[in-house]
Amino acid sequence: MKKEAKLWIDLAKEDFEDMNYMWKERRYRGAVLFAQQAVEKIIKGYIVENKGKTPRRIHAIEELLKDTDLNIIEIGSPDVKELSKAYTRVRYTDLSIQYYPTKEAVEPLLKMARNLYLWVEKKLIRK
């Protein structure tokens, strides 16, 4: 594995673990932040490893996916734009309270992030 790809993937794994920890501790805003970051970083690692290029400095997961050969239809075409929006929403108290106030509000987003992360991780292992 390429050194830069491994750096991205290691950071993604750490964020994925932090997401799960925050979820268990009922720190939902933090869980959402780390969910978005884990998915963003593992996709960037995939881009480095499989496309041989530096990933764009953006946080929009739907845009990063365009830089890969990954087809999210394989996992049911989740609305990754919602996960991308989380990057900004968690940083503003009013938006964070509006969008991520409860376990029920956060759980679908975290499930999507887990599915995306694990799917990309499997793709990396196979290559």
pLDDT of residue 119: 97
pLDDT of residue 127: 59
Buried b (16+ CB within 10 A) or exposed e, 102-111: eeeebeebbe
pLDDT of residue 59: 96
Mean pLDDT by 10 residues, the chain (127 residues): 97 98 96 98 97 96 97 95 96 95 96 97 85
Cα–Cα distance for residue pair 103/101, rounded to 1 Å: 7
- Fold topology of 3-126: Four Helix Bundle (Hemerythrin (Met), subunit A) (1.20.120)
pLDDT of residue 125: 82
Domain ranges for the chain, please list them. Answer: 3-126
pLDDT of residue 126: 72
